[in-house]
């Protein structure tokens, strides 16, 4: 039986799946380290990620058999950035992860420049620590030999997709330096309308064009080349698709019509709405991004609300507070109380992303009393994800006023029924969960399969998309308004935690 081999390189783990024509997945997974050299710094070891990728491919093929691999699909954590030596394949420094805030002061200086509105106009993004260009600039400015190697043409920079494609296609022995429009749209360096690196943006961030990969459509059997037969797959197979993880989930949820919307509940939380072939510029703190581009077609754009901490808040309860021993226990603990007891948790561990974009915000728990228990804190942590999603969707409705029929949910936290019901209540629309929680992997596989004829066209894909469960809103408008008002007060306290002087 033929399969698509889909690699999903995420923030905490790498997965490899064999996907058949009925969208069934055979999955293997390996975690990798989270490196925190200083407060606010988050790094990954690129060599560990590549080795984990090699191993998880080998595990998948050995456990499930190879059969015929029609194509390889790749999806990845976005914005996480590295620079490596093209001669040796050795990184000059660890990959700087999307959550990292070491460049906050530099971003504040960039944002204060008179050119910063042009950056947002060209890229659809605010200048923030989240994105790749300031990370590349930091490595060039702070790591020995990186800037010199760039000047000599020995250095390559990219997001994790570029790193993996380069290694999968041969590494130092002819590896191809490539990315796609979705990942490139997250760098602050690609012009949304030309779909190419922009000379003014490169000059503003002082980044040489020679460092950067060629930008391709997300799905194109001719663009990415063949895997190295000496590599982990052991054969020459076309790499037919490459998308950032949240855009892959948009495809995996079959959000092909303008106005269709999905939310991925993972380490962070990412709400994307298909806005069609014309970019919608947000005035409410959202991101304008490329949703996907299939070969020979115009790009499809999306509005996105990015939330830095969702599932990571549950991991924090487990690893830092120790009130649960496994993340899955949070639902039963939170269900032990009827409501949050007036407790609100704003998990601004990396500041607040959309729609606030405040890197100086700090995580807080408010409303504690002698009545409060660990169950109330667990419930507040779960509810924080739903409240943050409500803030983003409220902004999205103002930027693009359309009637939403439902929210498609995926990601690990979508397994939490308590959270999904609360989310439906807050949004006042049904929440629908896909039968497969692996929609990121499915989206990459769909894109690759369409490119090589594994699936005939997009109309065939919804037949493979199945509803697992849906939740309908039951909360009264007055209760919804009261809870959201209390949440907004908690957010205000988070934003005021540091004075301007203390934030320096």
Question: What residues contact residue 339 under an 8 Å CB cut-off, 6+ apart?
Answer: 379
φ, ψ (nearest 5 deg) of residue 346: -105, 105
* pLDDT beyond 90 at 472: yes
What pLDDT is stored for residue 65 in this prediction?
Answer: 67
Residue 360: which pLDDT band, with cuts at 50, 70 and 90? confident
Which H or E element spans position 301? strand 300-307
The CB density around residue 477, as the number of other CB atoms within 10 Å, is 9
Residue 490: which pLDDT band, with cuts at 50, 70 and 90? very high
What pLDDT is stored for residue 268 in this prediction?
Answer: 84
Answer whether 302's CB lies under 8 Å from 263's CB: no
Distances (CA, A) of 110 to 129, 207, 289, 358, 418: 11, 14, 20, 15, 42
What pLDDT is stored for residue 411 in this prediction?
Answer: 83
- Tell me what the mean pLDDT of segment 271-299 comes to: 91
- Tell me what the mean pLDDT of segment 3-16 comes to: 92
What pLDDT is stored for residue 466 in this prediction?
Answer: 76
Helix ranges (DSSP H) in 152-211: 160-168, 181-184, 199-205
**Nearest in space to 18 (alpha carbons), one of 32, 9, 8, 10:** 8
Q: According to the per-residue pLDDT averaged within each range, which of 24-28, 325-329, 473-477 is highest?
A: 473-477
What pLDDT is stored for residue 401 in this prediction?
Answer: 75
- Tell me what the mean pLDDT of segment 66-93 comes to: 92
Record the tokens describing residue 264, joined without a space.
């991925």
* pLDDT beyond 60 at 105: yes
What's the chain's Rg over C-alpha atoms? Answer: 22
What pLDDT is stored for residue 239 in this prediction?
Answer: 96
pLDDT in tens, 394-416: 988 888 877 778 899 988 888 89
Domains along the sequence of the chain with CATH: 2-253 (3.30.420.40)
* pLDDT beyond 90 at 25: no
What pLDDT is stored for residue 209 in this prediction?
Answer: 95
What pLDDT is stored for residue 498 in this prediction?
Answer: 59
Answer whether 196's CB lies under 8 Å from 299's CB: no
**Angstrom distance (rounded) from CA 403 to CA 224:** 38
Nearest-10 crossing angle of helices 477-495, 417-427: 100
What pLDDT is stored for residue 499 in this prediction?
Answer: 47
Question: What residues contact residue 166 under an 8 Å CB cut-off, 6+ apart?
Answer: 156, 158, 175, 176, 177, 178
Record the tokens describing residue 314, joined without a space.
């549950």
pLDDT in tens, 166-190: 999 999 999 999 999 999 999 999 9
**Angstrom distance (rounded) from CA 247 to CA 251:** 7
What pLDDT is stored for residue 404 in this prediction?
Answer: 78
Identify which has the larger pLDDT, 66 or 218.
Answer: 218
What pLDDT is stored for residue 210 in this prediction?
Answer: 94
Chain centre to alpha carbon of residue 108? 23
Identify which has the larger pLDDT, 176 or 278.
Answer: 176
- Tell me what the mean pLDDT of segment 65-79 comes to: 87
**Nearest in space to 27 (alpha carbons), one of 13, 17, 38:** 17
Q: Helix, strand or coil for residue 331? A: helix
Cis check: omega of the bond before 472, within 30 degrees of 0: no
Sign of the C-alpha dihedral, residues 171, 174, 180, 183? positive
* pLDDT beyond 70 at 70: yes
* pLDDT beyond 80 at 11: yes
Per mean pLDDT, which range of 65-69, 225-229, 314-318, 422-426 is the poorest?
65-69
pLDDT in tens, 225-245: 999 999 999 899 999 999 999
**Angstrom distance (rounded) from CA 67 to CA 269:** 35
Q: What is the DSSP letter of 307?
A: E
């Amino acid at each position: 039986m033929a399969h698509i081999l889909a690699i999903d390189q995420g923030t905490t783990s790498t997965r490899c799946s064999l996907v058949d024509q009925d969208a069934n997945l055979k999955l293997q997974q390996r975690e990798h380290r989270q490196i925190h050299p200083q407060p606010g710094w988050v790094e990954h070891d690129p060599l560990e990620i590549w080795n984990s990728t090699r191993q998880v491919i080998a595990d998948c093929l050995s456990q499930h058999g190879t059969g015929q691999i029609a194509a390889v699909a790749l999806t990845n954590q976005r914005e996480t950035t590295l620079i490596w030596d093209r001669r040796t394949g050795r990184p000059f420094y660890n990959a700087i992860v999307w959550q990292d805030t070491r460049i906050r002061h530099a971003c504040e200086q960039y944002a204060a420049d008179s050119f910063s509105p042009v950056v947002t106009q060209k890229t659809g993004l605010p200048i923030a620590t989240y994105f790749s260009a300031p990370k590349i600039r930091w490595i060039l400015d702070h790591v020995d030999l990186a800037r010199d190697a760039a000047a000599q043409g020995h250095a390559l920079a990219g997001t994790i997709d570029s790193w993996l494609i380069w290694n999968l296609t041969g590494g130092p022995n002819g590896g191809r330096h490539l990315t796609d429009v979705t990942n490139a749209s997250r760098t602050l360096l690609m012009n949304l309308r030309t779909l190419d690196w922009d000379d003014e943006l490169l000059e503003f961030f002082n980044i040489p064009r020679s460092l950067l990969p060629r930008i391709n459509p997300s799905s194109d059997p001719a663009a990415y080349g063949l895997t190295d037969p000496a590599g982990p797959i052991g054969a020459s197979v076309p790499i037919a698709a490459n998308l950032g993880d949240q855009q892959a989930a948009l495809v995996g949820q079959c959000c092909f019509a303008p106005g269709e919307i999905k939310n991925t509940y993972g380490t962070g939380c990412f709400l994307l709405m298909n806005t069609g072939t014309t970019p919608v510029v947000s005035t409410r703190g959202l991101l304008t991004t490329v949703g996907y581009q299939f070969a020979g077609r115009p790009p499809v754009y999306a509005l996105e609300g990015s939330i830095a901490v969702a599932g990571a808040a549950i991991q924090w309860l487990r690893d830092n507070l120790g009130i649960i021993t496994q993340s899955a226990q949070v639902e039963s603990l939170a269900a032990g109380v009827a409501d949050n007891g007036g407790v609100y948790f704003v998990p601004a561990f990396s500041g607040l992303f959309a729609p606030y974009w405040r890197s100086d915000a700090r995580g807080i728990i408010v409303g504690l009393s002698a009545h409060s228990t660990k169950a109330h804190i667990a419930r507040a942590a779960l509810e924080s994800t739903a409240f943050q999603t409500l803030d983003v969707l409220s902004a999205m409705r103002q930027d693009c006023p359309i009637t939403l029929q439902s929210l498609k949910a995926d990601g690990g936290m979508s397994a939490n029924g308590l959270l999904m019901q609360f989310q439906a209540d807050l949004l006042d629309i049904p929440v629908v969960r896909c039968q497969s929680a692996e929609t990121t992997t499915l989206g990459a596989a769909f894109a690759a399969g369409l490119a090589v004829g594994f699936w005939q066209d997009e109309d065939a894909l919804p037949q493979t998309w199945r509803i697992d469960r849906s939740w309908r809103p039951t909360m009264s408008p007055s209760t919804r308004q009261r809870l959201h008002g209390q949440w907004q007060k908690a957010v205000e306290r988070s934003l005021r935690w540091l004075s301007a002087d203390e934030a320096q």
